[in-house]
Amino acid sequence: MLQISNLSKTYPNGVQALKDVTLNISNGMFGLLGPNGAGKSTLMRTIATLQDADSGSITFNGIDILTQKQELRKTLGYLPQEFGVYPKVSAEEMLHYIARLKGITNDNERKELVKALLEQVNLYNHRTKYLAGYSGGMKQRFGIAQALIGNPALIIVDEPTAGLDPAERLRFNNLLSEIGENIVVILSTHIVDDVNELCNDMAIIAGGKVVQRGNPEALLNSFENRIWSKRVAKDEVASYQKDYKLVLSKLSGGKMVVHVYNETDPGNGFAPEKATLEDIYFANIV
């Protein structure tokens, strides 16, 4: 169990990136959903012991993350948003190097582990290629392989599918979904569908604050009979925005469809709409 309590962080430039964030996260895939600038990476880096908060606490299975950094690192797998420079080193060599750093000194044990990981992330046939020459999707799959070294109990994956094409994204999400349900996996993303597809628990973060929290299905149920839609002309959208709590407007067949949040039937030609995670996301961040 990961317990984040009253975590706050203000950067030296005055940006308050986290405002009193409290989250309890159990085993399974947890989605942290929020727009760019919401504070996701700040939270992920703090959990990963790479930066400090100003106040609050984080514990993971009895480890105080903010003071027992080395203890946490032994049990952490981290795939950062930016992996930095990909060296002219093969995936196989790099995995050996990281495994050695993580204390797997027995040659045979390490060889077997590296082979198994390369197979798991479907890079075995590309194991001797330089990482620098990998595609975006291959780099992210390599990122998962390195994060899995050392049997982590906590895995943090920060915006993994940003920049991947649809096929690469699908392959990556399938891989993530295979990671055990017996560990905590936190997936930070601004892509609603990633959370839809993968997560059994989630939070929405905006402006450094947790604005929604729960199991996706329960959240959807709480929005039942609250979302209403209507086809409108493009130039009417602004007036709907003024008169209603507009959740989203999107093009469909050349016309605009607006979704509004209302606790009762707003009349005026609106029809009930089955809420999606996208509705909940936009209702909370706008």
Least Cβ distance, residue 238 to ligand ADP (angstroms): 28
Least Cβ distance, residue 36 to ligand ADP (angstroms): 4
Residue placing its CB nearer to ligand ADP in the complex, 34 or 152 = 34
Q: What letter represents residue 160's amino acid?
A: P
Quick one: which H or E segment has residue 18?
A: strand 16-25
Residue placing its CB nearer to ligand ADP in the complex, 40 or 126 = 40
Least Cβ distance, residue 10 to ligand ADP (angstroms): 9
Sign of the Cα torsion 102, 103, 109, 111 reads positive
Residue placing its CB nearer to ligand ADP in the complex, 15 or 132 = 15
What tokens were used for 121? Answer: 């992330």
The pair phi, psi for residue 205, each rounded to 5°, is -120, 135
Q: Are 83 and 134 in contact (CB under 8 A)?
A: no
Contacts of 122 by beta carbon, 8 Å cutoff, 6+ apart: 141, 171, 175
Per the listing, tokens 């609250």 go with 226
Residue placing its CB nearer to ligand ADP in the complex, 42 or 49 = 42
| C-alpha to C-alpha distance for 202 and 224, rounded to whole angstroms | 18
Least Cβ distance, residue 206 to ligand ADP (angstroms): 9
Enumerate binding residues for ligand ADP (CB under 6 A).
11, 13, 15, 17, 34, 36-42
Q: Are 122 and 141 in contact (CB under 8 A)?
A: yes
Residue placing its CB nearer to ligand ADP in the complex, 34 or 77 = 34
What tokens were used for 74? Answer: 């032994």
Least Cβ distance, residue 272 to ligand ADP (angstroms): 33
| C-alpha to C-alpha distance for 212 and 285, rounded to whole angstroms | 10
Residue placing its CB nearer to ligand ADP in the complex, 38 or 154 = 38
Report how far apart the first and last C-alpha atoms of the chain are (Å, whole number): 31
Least Cβ distance, residue 207 to ligand ADP (angstroms): 9
